[in-house]
Amino acid sequence: MITVSENNIFALTNSYFSYVFRVSPEGILEHLHYGGSLRDPLKVATHHLRTQREVATNFQGGPYFSLSDTPQEYPSFGTSDFRFPALHGRNSDGNTVFSLHYKKHKIVTDKPRLKKLPSARGGDSETLIVTLEDVLHKLEVELHYTIYQDYGVLVRSTKLKNKGDKEIQLQHAFSSALDLPPQDYEILHLHGTWSREFNEERIDVPKGRFVVDSARGTSSAAHNPFIAIVQKGATEEHGRVHATTLMYSGNFALSVEKGEFEDVRLLAGINPYNFHWRLKPGKKFCTPEALHVYADKGLRSMSHIWHEFVRDKVSPERFRHKPRPTYLNTWEAAYFDVDETKVLHLADKAKDIGVDMLVLDDGWFEGRRDDTSSLGDWTADKKRFPSGIPALAAKVKAKGLKFGIWFEPEMVNPKSQLFKNHPDWILHVPGRKPSLGRNQLTLDLSRPEVIDYLYGQIDNILSCGDIDYVKWDMNRNMTEVGSAGLPKNRQREVSHRYMIGLYDLLKRLTKKYPDILFENCASGGNRFDLGMLSFMAQNWTSDMCDPIGRLEIINGCSYLFPLDVTAAYIGPSPNHQNGRKSSIDTRFNAGAFCAARGISLNETDIEENKDQLQNLMQFAKNSAEDMVGGRFDRLIKTDTEVCWQYTTRDETKVYLAYFHILAAPNLPFRRARMVGLNPNADYTLVEDGVRYAGDALMQSGMPLPYVATGQVNENVRYMAKGDFSSYLFVFEKVAQ
């Protein structure tokens, strides 16, 4: 997979892509190719022509060679490249000029793991480590490149070592740099806010810099840490795509810069804004991993590569291809007004409607009657739960259910015993009154004593052995980011040290409790990223539980994430986020392809819709194994229609979900051209037993239901009348 020529041309090649760069005569790592797989990648030509450019500054006096238009692997500032660099810092002379030259390289079988940061698993992989050096200031930079035999993902990270005897101050250090040749590109990124995450935006690459980033302390709902540089006009089926994401959950930046010579530079890593790291002599700094995908058959092929890799190499291996339990969550049933009697009563309701698990949400700990108090005091309220949580969990499990519980460990209310005892354990700065978010302050996870406290409190609950699921919530962004545990000259390290602390806490808990299913939630998708998914097998995609509001969210989410790692439940109608009324069927169908499916309704709603909920939960249980490891495809997305296809891992079943948003008279007859079927096989539609040929479903398409607005014809398949209708088809492949 990795080959190196005698004159130091490096090639990483598998059946998906080739990635090629070389050491230039000046010792600079010059990027040559990142695209389709090459038969002889070591012979690829350089695209950088050495010729006289007016006003160009020649690199260190060399003729006809300027870094201002040279595609590089890890550019720095100050030696003729005026684009935004991958590395910027202050050296011992007080200036910010570094010049990184090739020193050595080695090839490692498999993939080294990062010690303090999450990293993708190895296996059938090789890693190239190229060391660059600034000789003057004794800074070594190791560039790590991992390629896999059977996956189309390139994993990169950077390790910086201070080999000198004087401090170096890092102002930013990106994980990777990718310089693409001049072409007509577009940017695809995912933006949003609370309850409107993962909105797709596509724009032409502008002159100058375009940046999606976060300075919120989370990867954020505002901009997911994902970006794709796509061939102009690329579709689901056609066009070249270069996509990048980060395995990191904190402040990040993805920067796209079109230079004066039309080249495009993509930088990925920790956000330079408000970042500073004192690199003492003999110390190292490791960046998070950046993951890159190249696909040449459109956005659909890009997503398939991401999905396979995320489920196989990122999400916890223990839950890979493992069906998720159906569940009833107590939140919409009782909100904060929960007690042991109500929970056990809801457990009976859960059994009655046929779900597998009861989840106790917020409100179970001492003094917690609303969101103004008690966060941080993770002991059961003695009046409402006199037997304690372990005893309650045992009682629920005795009814034949699994038991799950909600935590929000990273926050504290000012009105809490923890804050009273340790007011300095929050993120804060001297002389400033801390801002509140949802009546909360953020605990300072850069401090080891805070990590130890949280571990002890959570371990005290989980150690009973009857907890099957943990919902890990986090409901505010960081403000007044400072730590009483660090000196003044290290305050801009706090955000990153917080993430290191959080990862340490998650690593300790998931290592001790590998069989507990952890779900990551941050007001929905405010921290939905590969860093969190490396510890937690699923993510609460959004607090938007209205099905129509969720269509855009799931569609955008699917560009990067397999639906194996997502959860959805049937929430109330009218919806609490937007007031929309919708049917039980459509509320279920919007999340039908998520691996984890459940219910969060009050008792009245459950009773009124009991038969329908029983049928839907039975369908969810019967299809639970189908919804892990399969292939998800986006077929149609317009302002009024969405159509998705899901094919099971063994390709024996195919699900087709169709949503019609607003009804209208005299609509055209629509069809969905399905993808990835066996053209020589037949597929039986389960609801009526009619057979369809695989090639016909792909070439001619599946006729979609008509939205009934008047009299109906028995020969026509109809959707429910009115707005927000949906239909779910299930096909079974006929054995050959």
The per-residue pLDDT for 49 is 76
* 654 and 545 share one domain: no
CATH of the domain at 511: 3.20.20.70
Rounded mean pLDDT, 381-393: 96
Q: What is the mean pLDDT of the chain?
A: 96
Residues 13 and 126 placed together within one structural domain of the fold: yes
> What one-character DSSP code corresponds to residue 420?
H
> Does some domain include residue 327?
no
Measured in degrees and rounded to the nearest 5, phi and psi for residue 305 equal: -65, -45
> What pLDDT, in 10s, does the model give residues 427-474?
999 999 999 999 999 999 999 999 999 999 999 999 999 999 999 999
Same domain? 645 vs 614: no
Q: What is the CATH number of the domain that holds 235?
A: 2.70.98.60
Give pLDDT tens digits for 607-657: 999 999 999 999 999 999 999 999 999 999 999 999 999 999 999 999 999
Active site residue 110: no
Beta bridge partners, 472, equal 407, 520
Q: pLDDT digit string (tens) for 276-316?
A: 999 999 999 999 999 999 999 999 999 999 999 999 999 99
pLDDT at residue 65, as a whole number: 81
Which residues does residue 540 pair with via DSSP β-bridges, in sequence order? 567
Asked if residue 416 and residue 353 are part of one domain, the reply reads yes
In a domain? residue 184: yes
Same domain for 354 and 282: no
Task: Summarize pLDDT for 505-558 with one digit per residue, the tens.
Answer: 999 999 999 999 999 999 999 999 999 999 999 999 999 999 999 999 999 999
- What value, to the nearest 5°, has the Cα angle with vertex 190 and ends 479 and 723? 110
- Residue at 536 is within a domain: yes
- Rounded Cα distance between 269 and 187, Å, is 18
358 and 470, same domain (yes or no): yes
Count of domains for the chain: 3
| 43-77: pLDDT as tens digits | 998 877 777 776 677 887 777 788 888 999 999 99
Residue 65 within any structural domain of the chain: yes
- Residue 675 domain-assigned (yes or no): yes
Q: Which of the residues 263, 543, 626, 682 is marked catalytic? A: 543
* pTM of the model as a whole: 0.97
> Are residues 622 and 638 located together in one domain of the fold?
no
- Of 604, 626, 648, which residue sits at a domain end? 626
Flag whether pLDDT at 734 surpasses 90.
Answer: yes
Same domain, 296 and 394: no
Provide DSSP, 317-361.
Answer: GGGTTPPPPPEEESHHHHTT---HHHHHHHHHHHHHHT-SEEEE-
- What residue type is 131 in one-letter code? T
Residue 438 in domain: yes
Domain match, 343 and 307 both: no
Same-domain status, 517 and 396 = yes
- Do residues 56 and 68 lie in contact, with contact meaning Cβ atoms separated by under 8 Å? yes
Q: Do the domain assignments include residue 322?
A: no
Domain finish residue from 314, 345, 377 = 314
The answer to whether residues 341 and 308 belong to one domain is no
- Per annotation, catalytic residue among 473, 529, 605, 682: 473
Q: Which residues are annotated as a binding site for substrate?
A: 194, 361-362, 438, 471-475, 521, 543
The pLDDT score that the predictor gives to residue 714 is: 82
Condensed to tens digits (0 to 9), the pLDDT of residues 208-226 reads 999 999 999 999 999 999 9
Domain that holds residue 390: 332-626
Looking at 607, 626, 645, the residue that finishes a domain is: 626
As a whole number of angstroms, the distance between CA 628 and CA 566 comes to: 10
In a domain, 432, yes or no: yes
The reply to whether 596 and 675 lie within a common domain is no
